[in-house]
Amino acid sequence: MSTVTNPLLPGCYPDPSICRVGDDYYLVTSTFEYLPGLPVLHSRDLVSWEQIGHVVDRPGQLDYTGVASSGGLYAPTIRHHDGVFWIICTLVDQRDASRGGNFLMTATDPAGPWSDPVWLDAGGIDPSIFFDDDGRVWVHGTRLAREPRWHDQTEVWVRELDPVSKSLVGPEHVIWHGAVEGVVWAEAPHLYKVDGTYYLLAAEAGTEFHHAESVARADSVTGPYVGYKGNPVLTHRHLGRGSDVVGTGHADLVQAADGSWWAVLLAMRTYGGYHYPLGRETFLVPVEWEQGWPVFAPGVGRVPTEVDVPFATDPRPGLVQGGTSGVVPSADPRWTAVRALPTEVATPAGDGWDLPLRAATLADVEVPAFLGLRLQHRDADLTARVRADLADGEEVGLAVRQSEKDHVRLAVGPDGDGLRARVVHRQRGEDRVLGETSLAAGAGATLTLSVRARGADLELLVGAGDGAPVVVGTAATTDLDTVATGGFLGLWLGVYGTSAGRPTQTVAHVDGVEYVPAV
């Protein structure tokens, strides 16, 4: 037996979906505007996870042009059937509802390559796919109700899929509006068949404080579905905003090889008051069945801090589980970029990168010169050594990114014969300088740039050449999380460079980026 500590995947790994093939488990999560998209993780025991690839990992697979922060890829579902892995997901462009939609991708190897998307004639979000034992395939998802009885009422629909043409066929059936009268955002539906009965698992009440998981069952895949009298089967809203974990929901069930049942789900760890700068993370809870209904975290009734997994031995948490420290090489699967692949904005150079500056800034809904990592720990340091021969108006630095409208950047640019470093907080689209200092170093000097997170407090430091780093300014993660700013994302830390709208040939040489959890 091994014990896994929750969250299973720390940092912004929301909307988890899981499937089992023999003794192997595969899991995917949402990635929104970051690429590569939809990480695929593998485990043999539900305890130790290794990232084996991404679903969206090559140019041109999906068009992210103009997709603003907290748009992009929402709520994937992964399933396996007859030797083929299936992903169904939504591409959301919140600024242009006519773009994007629900799509399918397939692969015979979950590590990839995955197919190009096949778009479905179905609106809404959070699609899922169910393979019945009679050979029929059913797609289901959520959308705003066609004839709503209250604001933000949603409905879960189901419709048959032709697996050969990958097109929806036959009539559509609306099967669910949520367990609670007046509830908003009944979403993240998944269908299962257990002992001849169909079960619908769905979240509701929005993916924030009131998030909850409910279940219904039926004798037919198209319903009618009857809700469980004990709904919600999992929520933390009754624990209050002082709870250390809030927002539990968006669950997916899996049966282990030994017959036991488990659920992966999202939730948020709070700190610095009612804030969750790490975003929506992936958690694991045991599930048992009683009188034909699932019981989540039996005997506890909430997401436990630690979970005993009887069939797991010798835990070996992988990179994505936050157990590593030190240099993050360019081949590390944690690297992401915004609306483009990391290798589309930079060139690997040993363990570092050559990062050409771009005209786009972090405030633009374009492709900035930004390479980032999820913040996965309350206390952590990110340090990068950067060298660039900057022209007037250009800057390089580190950023703590929430969105285009909300981020903090440590920016270094030319200042006469030297350099000047500033800490700038962009809040609701407006810039405010939090601190600045001059550096006695010329163009092309090697800069040591650091972000130090200690709970809700951020320190941003810079050193030039052999000089000791100094604090340029301070900020707070609680001014950047989704409680403060909106959206769906946790925080990213990364290196960036911009010419602020001007043509440029400048390249920033990024060496030895280190991510170090502070234990």
List, by residue number, the catalytic residues.
Answer: 15, 187
> Cis bond leading into 232, ω under 30°?
yes
Sequence-distant (≥ 6) Cβ neighbours of residue 379 within 8 angstroms: 453, 454, 455, 517, 518, 519
Upstream peptide bond of 368 is cis (omega within 30 degrees of 0) = no
Q: Which two tokens stand for residue 438?
A: 């001059």
Buried/exposed code over 87-105 (b: 16+ C-beta within 10 A; e: otherwise)? bbbbbbbeeeeeebbbbbb
Q: Find the DSSP H helices in 210-346.
A: 342-345
CA 401, 406, 412, 414 torsion: positive or negative? positive
The secondary structure of the chain in percent helix, strand, coil, rounded to multiples of 5, reads 5, 50, 45
**Mind spelling out the 3-state secondary structure of 166-231?**
CEEEEEEEEEECCCCCCCCCCEEEEEEEECCEEEEEEEECCCCCCCEEEEEEECCCCCCCEECCCC
Cis bond before residue 277 (omega within 30° of 0): no
Question: From the CB of residue 145, how many other CB atoms can be counted at a distance below 10 Å?
Answer: 15
C-alpha torsion sign, points 342, 94, 404, 39: negative
Place of tokens 């630095």: 397
Question: CA-to-CA distance for 354 and 443, rounded, in angstroms?
Answer: 17
Distance CA 422, CA 397 (A): 9
φ, ψ at 323 (rounded to 5°): -95, 5
Residues in contact with 162: Cβ distance below 8 Å, sequence separation at least 6, in sequence order = 137, 168, 169
Q: What is the number of residues in the chain?
A: 519
| Contact (CB, 8 A) for 379 and 437 | no
